[in-house]
Structure 1
Amino acid sequence: MMRKTPLLIAGALAAPASAGTISVTIPRVPVAEYHRPYVAAWIEPVGGGAAQTVFVWYDIKKKGNEPGTKWLSDLRTFWRKGGRSLTLPADGISGATRAPGTYQIPLPANLKTGAYTLYVEAARETGGRELVSVPLSIPAKAASAAGKTELGTVTIR
């Protein structure tokens, strides 16, 4: 008789379906010295509550002795909402900076039915800083907002 281990059973239950998808566009900024932006996204319940980080893109393999996390405080709102207490790198949410383009990120599957706000913040060395907010409801309904300089369109599907 073959016996299933608890690890296999837990692994099978740990993969719920995503609540939706976030699409984030990083525009090409016409400047002489372009640096990829640090970008972070988090979700907050509309009625108040703890912020949940969705992703944070930063310079993971920074050259020299300074850690890439040193400049995360330039994402001022993210830093105050929980970035400073986040242990990085964090599995499933942290990654390297991204080149201009559009990126698809799944919404966390553990969101309960309700109203939230998605925040996406970007900051670039020798560049600007921008924060875009998008209303989010679970079950997910389409919504979008657009940045003006450091972020392009942020869409929820």
Structure 2
Amino acid sequence: MKTLLLLLLTGIVATQAKDYNTYDSSYVHYSWGLDYQETLNDGMQNRVSSLRYAGSQATMNEDGFNLYEGVSYTKKEFYGNHDIPDMTKYHEKAVSIIIIGGSSWTFCEDVNYYGHCACLRADQYDSNHYGRLDVGLFPDIHASQVGIYSVRSVRKGCHHA
């Protein structure tokens, strides 16, 4: 049996239960950085069953966002990198959000950028010889200062409804 004790990563989320904790509310560990290395704590050592990457699969630090149906980046995921006036056909059950890149994004509770909206941006970064990685982590939009309870439209930049 293979075990995971150490992470060397460029942006990742590790979950204890399979399928990103879709059917189980087990432990979640998220880390990020460029060539970031850490030893997993006792709660995660030898228990990681799924790993997930946030952001563009093709371009590091491309402006974009990941929406997740579960708290702390669990359950179903949606990645976007452009304006979407009606998210209902894609993913309207967002509970957690990751922002990648240097741009801000406006998330609104109603379609076509109406209703209560929140502007989110990356507030942390790492850099090395590979470049720069900007990250904004919002593990629970309901319990944080984000101030929205659903995501039905999203557009690049900070805008008011």
**TM-score range with shorter-chain normalisation?**
under 0.3
Structure with the greater alpha carbon radius of gyration: 1
Structure with more of its chain in helix, by fraction: 1
TM-score scaled to structure 1, two decimals?
Answer: 0.25
TM-score scaled to structure 2, two decimals?
Answer: 0.24
